[in-house]
């Protein structure tokens, strides 16, 4: 007997299936990531009114048979809708956040913190453009919620506090930080400015809404490279949205 | 595939590559073709081959056409001053069916779709800008779908083409004819209110 469920969710992606169906992946507040089939979803204005678009905030009602891999989507309603069209760049960054959330969550494994993070990030993005500090904060928080957060306060080797006045070392193979004494001379470790590490530490703790305004100034590119390396160790496949972001930034 | 002769299996393997066709449907279609009249099967095979050989992308509007430039771009009764920008050739056909548009078209062949890695370089936007450079076009009607991707594409095209001195308009969004306000969703109703008109 299939069990009926209902949860707040963000639509991560969808694809057409046959003439009128859609296969949709959601990140739900209560059940983690779920993928389901919406029968007649392309035509049904009553059961799925504009609610199966990527990045939409919805409440999804679905049934799940124990042995089935796909949930059966009963209906889905929009929880909020913006009348302001998203500009291309914000859409691309929204897709980036969504793609990351999809890769760092597992089907049917509750991830409420990640859901709240994505939900909040998409709302911030609706109000203002994505800044470098906002993106880095999102990446760091996501890594932490997914269980891949590197300690930014202590050396993983000796356990001593990382001194804010000294250079520390980042292990490119492990995405961990070491103090100057432990990291120096290690081929797989690159030196990191102490200011950058302090900045990342601050961003990871700060509420996402406040991160938008944080200036990264001279460490902007280095911060992006660092979090990019941390993420790449855990990505299952390359992020497609980066290609679009690249094209949009080049065309400006 | 067990129990299926190789020639039939070849057909199934080709059919299954089509969108929306699974292995079951492909097998059913393939078996149907084994029972079909030889002329019908030849007709299907030949039309598929000739489609590839005789179909062009119109160098003016970027629509799929049987000739280059296409019939619509060559029609002297149509106005050169208004261009309707659509996502796909199917959208062009839909606008054309309405009978309410007598200008020219431009087919973008998609929308910006970051989740699929599709950016402006993958669309026929350069061709549109080049077309506007001639100075004949006075108005651009952007008729991309009212989805997040369609809206973002519309905004991108508008930002790119407005500085060229062209009037850019967007097709209206809102309640469908014969629709019911009570059953309209948040987004549609919001758009309908935003785009209200004085009477």
Residue A13: band (very low, low, confident or very high) from pLDDT cuts 50, 70, 90: very high
Same-domain pairing of B84 and B34:
no
Per the model's pLDDT, the better-predicted residue between B140 and A166 turns out to be B140
Interval A139-167 mean pLDDT: 88
* Pick among A89, A244, A248, A250 to test the B interface (most B CBs inside 10 A): A244
Contact B86, B96 (CB under 8 A): no
Q: Which residue of B has its CA nearest to A21?
A: B20
Question: In the predicted model, is pLDDT for residue A84 greater than 80?
Answer: no
Residue B185, min C-alpha distance to chain A (Å): 6
Residue A181, min C-alpha distance to chain B (Å): 43
**pLDDT value at residue A85:** 59
Q: Which residues of chain B have pLDDT under 70?
A: none
**pLDDT value at residue A73:** 95
Q: Which domain holds residue B17?
A: 6-54
Q: What is the pLDDT of residues A186-237, one digit of tens each?
A: 788 888 887 888 889 889 999 998 887 777 777 888 899 999 999 999 999 9
Using the Cβ of A99 and the Cβ atoms of chain B, whether some distance falls under 8 Å is answered with: yes
Q: Which domain holds residue A45?
A: 1-81
Terminal-residue alpha carbon distance, chain A: 55
**pLDDT value at residue B92:** 95
Contact A52, A60 (CB under 8 A): no
**pLDDT value at residue A50:** 74
**pLDDT value at residue A33:** 96
**pLDDT value at residue A101:** 97
Q: Which of B112, B149, B194 sits opposite A83 (nearest CB)?
A: B194
Question: In the predicted model, is pLDDT for residue A40 greater than 70?
Answer: yes
Tally the domains of chain A: 2
* Pick among B18, B22, B110, B114 to test the A interface (most A CBs inside 10 A): B114
pTM (2 d.p.):
0.87
Chain B environment of A87 (Cβ under 8 Å) = 152, 155-156
* Rg, C-alpha atoms of chain B: 22
Question: CB under 8 Å to B197, separation ≥6 — which residues?
Answer: none
Same-domain pairing of B98 and B132:
yes
Contact B55, B64 (CB under 8 A): yes
How far apart (Å, rounded) are the C-alpha atoms in residues B154 and B86? 10
Query: CA distances (Å), A66 to each of A1, A5, A63, A207, B8, in order?
Result: 8, 13, 10, 38, 36
| Chain centroid, CA B144 distance in Å | 9
Using the Cβ of B149 and the Cβ atoms of chain A, whether some distance falls under 8 Å is answered with: yes
ipTM given for this complex: 0.86
Question: In the predicted model, is pLDDT for residue A83 greater than 70?
Answer: no
Same-domain pairing of B97 and B151:
yes
Q: What is the mean pLDDT of chain A?
A: 89
Tally the domains of chain B: 2
CATH number at residue A52: 2.40.50.140
Same-domain pairing of B109 and B155:
yes
**pLDDT value at residue A152:** 86
Same-domain pairing of A106 and A21:
no
B17 class by beta-carbon count within 10 Å (0-12 exposed, 13-18 middle, 19+ buried): exposed
What is the percent of chain A with per-residue pLDDT over 70, rounded to a whole number? 97
Chain A environment of B114 (Cβ under 8 Å) = 91-92, 94-96, 240-241, 244-245
Chain B environment of A10 (Cβ under 8 Å) = none
| Chain centroid, CA A94 distance in Å | 9
Residue A82: band (very low, low, confident or very high) from pLDDT cuts 50, 70, 90: low
State both tokens at B8.
């039939």
CATH number at residue B119: 3.40.1360.10
Using the Cβ of B66 and the Cβ atoms of chain A, whether some distance falls under 8 Å is answered with: no
């Amino acid at each position: 007997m299939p069990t009926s469920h209902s949860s707040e969710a963000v639509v991560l992606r969808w694809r057409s299936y046959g003439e009128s169906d859609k296969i949709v992946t959601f990140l739900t507040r209560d059940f983690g990531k779920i993928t389901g089939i919406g029968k007649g979803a392309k035509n049904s204005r009553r059961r799925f009114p504009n609610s199966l678009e990527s990045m939409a905030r919805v409440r999804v009602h679905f049934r799940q048979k124990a042995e089935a891999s796909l949930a059966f989507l009963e209906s889905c309603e929009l929880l909020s809708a913006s009348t302001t069209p998203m500009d291309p760049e914000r859409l691309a960054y929204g897709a980036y956040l969504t793609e990351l959330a999809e890769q760092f969550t597992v089907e049917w494994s509750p991830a409420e913190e990640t859901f709240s993070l994505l939900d909040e990030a998409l709302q911030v993005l609706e109000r203002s453009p994505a800044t470098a500090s906002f993106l880095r904060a999102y990446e760091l928080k996501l890594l932490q919620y997914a269980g891949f957060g590197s300690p930014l306060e202590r050396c993983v080797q000796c356990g001593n506090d990382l001194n804010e006045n000294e250079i520390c070392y980042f292990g490119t193979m492990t995405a961990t930080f070491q103090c100057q004494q432990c990291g120096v001379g290690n081929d797989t470790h690159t030196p990191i400015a102490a200011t950058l590490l302090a900045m990342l530490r601050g961003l990871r703790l700060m509420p996402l809404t406040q991160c938008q305004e944080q200036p990264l100034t001279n460490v902007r590119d280095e911060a992006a490279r660092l979090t990019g390396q941390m993420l790449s160790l855990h990505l299952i496949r390359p992020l497609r949205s980066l290609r679009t972001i690249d094209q949009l930034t080049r065309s400006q | 595939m067990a129990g299926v002769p190789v020639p039939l299996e070849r057909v199934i393997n080709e059919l299954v590559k089509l969108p929306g066709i699974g292995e079951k449907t492909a097998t059913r279609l393939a078996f149907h073709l084994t029972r079909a009249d030889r002329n019908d099967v030849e007709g299907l095979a030949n039309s598929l081959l000739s489609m590839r050989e005789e179909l062009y992308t119109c160098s003016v509007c970027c629509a799929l056409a049987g000739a280059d430039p296409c019939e619509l771009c060559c029609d002297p009764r149509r106005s050169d001053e208004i261009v309707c920008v659509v996502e796909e050739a199917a959208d062009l056909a839909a606008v054309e069916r309405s009978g309410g548009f007598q200008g020219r078209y431009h087919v973008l062949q998609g929308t910006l779709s970051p989740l699929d890695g599709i950016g402006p370089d993958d669309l026929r936007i350069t061709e549109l800008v080049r077309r506007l450079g001639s100075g004949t076009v006075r108005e651009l009607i952007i008729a991309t779908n009212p989805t997040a991707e369609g809206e973002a594409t519309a905004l991108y095209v508008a930002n790119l083409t407005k500085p060229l001195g062209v009037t850019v308009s967007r097709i209206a969004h809102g309640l469908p004819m014969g629709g019911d306000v009570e059953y309209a969703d948040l987004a549609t109703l919001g758009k309908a209110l935003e785009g209200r008109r004085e009477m």
